[in-house]
Amino acid sequence: MNPVPLFFRLQTKQAMLMEPVRTDVLTVTPWLAPIVWEGTFDPQVIDEAFRSYNLTIATTVFAVGKYTCFLRDFLESAEKHFMVGLNVQYYVFTDMPSHVPISVTLGVGRRLNVVKVPKFDRWQEISLRRMELIQTAIEEYIHQRANYIFCLDVDMIFHGRVGPEALGKLVAAIHPWFYWVPRSQYPYERRTISKAYIPQDHGDFYYQANIFGGAVEDVHRLTKTCREHLEMDKSAGVEAVWQEESHLNWYLLKNKPTKLLSPEYVWDDLRGQGAKEIKLVRFSSVIKNKAEVRENP
């Protein structure tokens, strides 16, 4: 299934060319991909365009070991804010299917699928295997059932709209802790032995792996490449500094995203309320006691 061109019927107020709504932030990348901030898009126009296409958005989330405790809040808040009005197929990858809260009420056209996966002793290992598992899931069933796919972290909650303005061929979100720093300070993998290596004077933005997505075909290519690189690194005895996130950043430097989500879409509650460019927090990490939920430090 392919993403479709859009046909719009509704119009609201006119967009005045000389009156930018956001003058404080970059709204388009140097390769002309839009960066989605509050104020840059008209939600009514976007919703109207996408509604008529009967799209299905696959949404993967990993809840392994103690991380199943985050599922209820994740799902309940997703039902309020995530792609409301569209068909969503959740794929919950877990080693403990009995811990999945199936009592969460889902809206029309939305379904929860539970996929059993093995558990690993190290949280880094769980994180690393995600690319492989997503790739396989796309190959085996997601490609037939969905137009777009989003891969989300489970220890997060939706607080505001995350709608079809986030849909695109290849979509990534800007990390909330690095968006104002020079690229030499991005936590890229800097050892040349790793496939995720990025030299000091290269880089666009630092993307966080908590949310990425796009057309199923493009996300398949992403996950397949990252998985292959992860395996090559493993053979060479190296684990990238931020595991899959390092490989994701390498991939997205080379294969430019067609749309970027501002840090509104991947916030960290630990950053607090102070950032004036963030007018709305849509999706953010739950403050958690890492010792309690992780298998190892």
Partner 1 sequence: MRFFPVTKPYVLLLPASGLILIVGYRIFWLFREKISSPEYQEFTFRTKEWNMVIPDMSSYNQPRILVGRTDVVSVTPWLAPIVWEGTFDPVLTDNIYKPMNLTIATTVFAVGKYVSFLKDFLETAEKHFMINFRVRYYVFTDRPNEVPSVNLSGGRHLTVISIPGSNRWQEISAQRMKIIHNTIETQIHKEADYIFCLDVDSKFHFRWGAESLGRLVSVIHPGYYDTTRNNFPYERRPASKAFMSMDQGDYYYGGAVIGGLVEDVYKLTKECHKEFEEDAKNSIEAAWQEESHLNRYLYYNKPSKVLSPEYLWQDFKARTREVKVIRFSGVIKNYAAIRPNE
For residue 152, the minimal CB distance to partner 1 (Å) is 21
Binding residues: 62-64, 67, 153-155, 175, 245, 268
Q: Give the single-character DSSP code of 109.
A: T
Mapping DSSP to helix (H, G, I), strand (E, B) and coil, where does residue 12 land? coil
Asked if 262 contacts 159 with a C-beta cutoff of 8 angstroms, the reply is no
Q: What angle do CA 205, 201, 284 make, to 5 degrees?
A: 20
Indicate the SS3 state at residue 100.
coil
Binding site for partner 1 (CB under 8 A): 5-9, 11, 14-36, 40-42, 45-46, 49, 165, 169-170, 174, 179-180, 182-183, 198-199, 201-205, 218, 221, 253-256, 258-259, 277
Distance CA 3, CA 134 (A): 19
Q: How far is the CB of 11 from partner 1 (least distance, A)?
A: 5
Nearer to partner 1, 100 or 211 (CB): 211
When the beta carbons of 41 and 265 are compared against partner 1, the nearer one is 41
CB of 207 to partner 1, least distance (A): 12
Q: Give the residue with the Cβ less far from partner 1, 165 or 233.
A: 165
Cβ-based nearer residue to partner 1, 109 or 199: 199
The DSSP code for 35 is E
CA dihedral 231, 237, 242, 246 (to 10 degrees): -50
d(CA 35, CA 57): 21
Can you say which residues are annotated as belonging to the binding site for UDP-N-acetyl-alpha-D-galactosamine? 62-64, 67, 153-155
Convert 58-88 to b/e letters by CB count within 10 Å (16 or more is b): bbbbbbbbebbbbbebbbebbbebbbbebbb
Task: Judge whether 228 counts as a catalytic residue.
Answer: no
Rounded CA-CA distance 44/66 in Å is 39
| Torsion, Cα of 181, 251, 134, 96 (10° steps) | -40
Catalytic residue from among 79, 245, 264, 295: 245
Residue 196 Cβ, how far from partner 1 at the closest point, in Å?
12
CB of 146 to partner 1, least distance (A): 18
162: Cβ contacts below 8 Å, ≥ 6 apart: 81, 82, 83, 265, 282, 283
Rounded Cα–Cα distance for residues 115 and 2 (Å): 24
> What residues are annotated to the active site?
245
